[in-house]
Structure 1
Amino acid sequence: MPSPAPLMSIGALAQASGASVRSIRHYEQHGLLASIRADNGYRMFPAAAVAQVRQIQRLIATGFTVAEILSFPDCMRMIEGAPACSETSDVQRRRLAAIERQIADLERRRTRLLAMLREGAAAPPD
């Protein structure tokens, strides 16, 4: 009979993944990670959780919300560096469009501020 897969504490998971313990608790609370409770009540995670946490952080860093990440198929949430899958391409395109709108807005603000500094006058209202 094979031995059970080794488990790691939340602290060990935080150290291995580079995430904070608080972030890991947040991911678990929202259903992005699963743990089991040891006899002492401590959370214990499978070794595969390291890649999951890194992937969750990667997705959050690109602007996805926890709710959006929850809607992604397991292949996107559980595999570190997973490529886009057809099930997520629409939400990824929408996220990219939102980021591009934000960039355009920031560029407009930058242009107005530069003009204001050059002219020493107040910027026109939006």
Structure 2
Amino acid sequence: MSRTALETSLGIGELARRTGASVRSIRHYDEQGLLASTRSENGYRAFPELAVTQVRQIQRMIASGFSLADIRSFPDCMLMIEGAATCEQTSAVQRDRLKSIERQIADLERRRARLLKMLSEGVVPPLGQ
């Protein structure tokens, strides 16, 4: 790798510092094909400046409930532009994720109601109540 390329790239520690992601997470994103790194002469990973945006986008998508496999399926524009708007290619996956989250919420609400009933009545209510 040329000296110019190294000067414009970030080491994994600097990328972690600038994004708040752990070095371990960045390595994992790189191994999953979500980031593009090169290797310097000493074998360390080197990332382009754009990786800052990519890591922030990955973090936002994970916080919204998407898996790395989901994120890998998104078009590049979703990772290349910080705060990128959703696009047609991802709306079906987003709707599916929302349905899944809503099912989880409904399940948690049922469990909460059962526990409240247990606490108030002192007995385990039958299923379905």
Q: Normalised by the size of structure 1, how large is the TM-score?
A: 0.93
Distance in 1 of aligned mates of 2:107 and 2:26: 34
- 1:62 is matched with 64
Is structure 2 residue 84 aligned with structure 1 residue 76?
A: no
**Deviation digits for residues 22-62 of structure 1 (CA, Å, limit 9, x no counterpart):** 00000000000011111111100011100100100111111
Distance in 2 of aligned mates of 1:99 and 1:111: 18
- Identity percentage over the alignment? 65
- 1:25 is matched with 27
Q: Normalised by the size of structure 2, how large is the TM-score?
A: 0.91
Distance in 2 of aligned mates of 1:77 and 1:98: 23
Q: How many corresponding residue pairs?
A: 124
- 1:104 is matched with 106
Pairwise CA RMSD: 1.3
SS of corresponding position for 1:87: helix
1:94 corresponds to which of 92, 96, 117:
96
- 1:37 is matched with 39
* Cα drift, residue 79 of structure 1: 1.8
SS of corresponding position for 2:46: strand
- 1:124 is matched with 126
* Cα drift, residue 123 of structure 1: 3.1
SS of corresponding position for 2:88: coil
- Gaps of at least 5 residues in structure 2 are none
SS of corresponding position for 2:33: coil
